[in-house]
Structure 1
Amino acid sequence: MARLLIVHHTVSPATQELLDAVLEGARDDEIEGVEVVARPALAASVADTLSADAVVLGTPANIGYMSGALKYWFDLVYYPALSAGRSVPYALYVHGNDDTAGAVRAVEGAAKGMGWARHRPPVSVTGAPAAADRDACRELGAVTALAALGM
């Protein structure tokens, strides 16, 4: 069975809304053959990462950067993932109060450094998530689950 790993730092109601939408999309009844594993960034392990066929990353934008928790996860898994030599498809959602550009740039740089391939453009949300933002996160979860299957 293919495995989709969702690594997130969810500290606010807004990031929780986005995570819930990603999970809803990834667990759509029409998608078969994918195990969806969601881990907080501080609990996600090297083994979780190396067993993933695709990854969704979720973070708030904190002081113009990804959360410290997601940065910690990148530090933990960077060399083992790099040594594994697998180009894993990944997707990203980011929430910020007024800007997400620095967080997006930081996450994309780290993922590129690991040899991962961005599966689709990030979902970047500022302010309170709207219905369109939740829909975009649902789609992000679904298409990344399909990417875990090689589709």
Structure 2
Amino acid sequence: MSKLLIIANTPSTNTQALRDAVVDGAQSAEISPIVLSPFDANAEHVLQAQAIIIGTTENFAYMSGALKDFFERIYYPCLEQKQGLSMALYVKAGNDGQGAKSSVERITTGLRWKHVQSPLILSGDYKPEFAKDCYELGAGMAEGMKMGIF
């Protein structure tokens, strides 16, 4: 069975709702994702994944500290073995989200992971359409896996 890994920093009810929408989208395509916080995920989870969706908050124009910790722990164990891993990113940003997006892209470029969807940046105060966008992100990733695109 295809393994979709969802790593999401969820410090608030709004960010939990976004993660849940991504999960619901993936499940709509009959994929049962593995859903973990950045602190609970490790290199073994990544090594077993066929694709990954990363969710982060924007903190000080950077990714969350939790996500940075995750990358620091998995970088070298996964560097050679997971090149080309299909990935998607969403950022819940109080500002424009570009710093968080760029910081994740620098690390995932170093890992040689492949963005299969454009990063989704959800800027400003929480809006209900953010959950719809996250649902579509999860559904798109899962459909791509199901169809064997990645």
TM-score, structure 2 as length reference:
0.92
Aligned residue pairs total 148
Tell me the alpha carbon deviations over residues 40-66 of structure 1, each in whole angstroms, 9 at most, x when there is no partner: 000001110000000000000000100
The offset of 1:85, in angstroms, is 4.3
Verify: 1:110 aligned to 2:89, yes or no.
no
Q: Percent identity?
A: 36
Whole-Å separation in 1 of the counterparts to 2:21 and 2:32: 17
Q: Which 5+ residue runs of structure 2 have no aligned equivalent?
A: none
Tell me the alpha carbon deviations over residues 98-127 of structure 1, each in whole angstroms, 9 at most, x when there is no partner: 231100001111111101000111111122
Contact 1:5 1:48 in 2 (8 A): yes
Whole-Å separation in 1 of the counterparts to 2:67 and 2:74: 11
Q: Report what 2:97 is aligned to.
A: 100
Verify: 1:133 aligned to 2:130, yes or no.
yes
Q: Report what 2:4 is aligned to.
A: 4
Whole-Å separation in 1 of the counterparts to 2:135 and 2:74: 26
Q: Report what 2:145 is aligned to.
A: 148
The offset of 1:130, in angstroms, is 2.1
| More displaced 10-residue stretch of structure 1: 6-15 or 125-134 | 125-134
Moved runs in structure 1, 4+ residues, more than 6 A?
A: none
Give the letter aligned to residue 35 of structure 1: S
RMSD (Å) for aligned C-alpha atoms: 1.3
Contact 2:82 2:113 in 1 (8 A): no
Contact 1:89 1:147 in 2 (8 A): no
Q: Which 5+ residue runs of structure 1 have no aligned equivalent?
A: none
SS at match of 1:64: coil
SS at match of 1:93: strand
Q: Report what 2:13 is aligned to.
A: 13
